Amino acid sequence: MAVDESTQTNGVAEPGAGQGNAQDVKQSGWTVQTVLADIEHGYAESTDSPVPFFHLLERLKTTKRAGWRRFGIEDCESISDHMYRMSILTMMAPQSISSKLDILRCCRMALIHDMAESLVGDITPVDPVSKEEKSRRESETMDYICTNLLGKFNGGLNGKDVRQIWQEYEDSETAESLFVHDIDKMELLLQMLEYERSQKCETDLGEFTWVAQKIKSPEINTWATAVFRERQALWKKAGKTCSWRADTEPKDEAS
């Protein structure tokens, strides 16, 4: 399974972060059931109604994206906020992209790709959780959602569909999944700039600019460059200098 840290979280990797071994994973006490045990109301399982699943989705609305909190942005976006704008961005794909991809599937993938975080939470690369352990937790959560909560609704068809789309994103092999990974990065860059603007350039989030180098689509790269030029103008107007990672600062167009 392909794992791209820049698409899975708004955290930023540091040397050694997110690394672990099989023993770390084996010794982990995390299970879906340990998380559910701390949820007072719980969720009815193995019913023919999707309503328990609908209630679970609330957690995506209330769980904050962890990476921003490291910079003191406490009232930051939720996981649902992030996925919603991603879905809209997929719908804005130019014809050069939309003519080649199933955009409706991309939109659905954007709305599903972080669904496991409803129980797993937003694990960033700086957290002491290995990639293998993160993958295990998310896979088991999606199995729980799609089997225990949705397995008997509509013959289990909806649950199977959600599970397949989530796995497609994780495997990062289809053209649709690669496009949605690009959109994931693009949404992060938009939010980065917007937080800097709302903080009146008191907070420098340049640590996140490196993800632009991971964007594969020329069309989405054009969007990212536009955001970076906005960022240059914002900080210039504030009379301050901002940081950039991995040589991502746009060059002077005249040069």
DSSP-assigned letters across all residues of the chain: ----HHHH-SS---TTTT---HHHHHH----HHHHHTT-SS----S-S-SHHHHHHTHHHHHPBPHHHHTTT--S--BHHHHHHHHHHHHHT--HHHHTTS-HHHHHHHHHHTTTTHHHH----TTSS--HHHHHHHHHHHHHIIIIIITTTGGGGHHHHHHHHHHHHHHHT-SHHHHHHHHHHHHHHHHHHHHHHHHTTTSS--GGGGGGGGG---HHHHHHHHHHHHHHHHHHHHTT-----STT-SPPPTT-
**33-80 per-position pLDDT tens digit:** 999 999 999 999 999 999 999 999 999 999 999 889 889 998 999 999
Of the pLDDT bands very low, low, confident and very high (cuts 50, 70, 90), residue 28 is: low
The yes-or-no verdict on residue 14 having pLDDT over 90 is no
Q: Distance (Å, rounded) from C-alpha 5 to C-alpha 9?
A: 7
Of the pLDDT bands very low, low, confident and very high (cuts 50, 70, 90), residue 1 is: very low
Per-residue pLDDT at 30: 95
Of the pLDDT bands very low, low, confident and very high (cuts 50, 70, 90), residue 22 is: very low
The yes-or-no verdict on residue 243 having pLDDT over 80 is yes
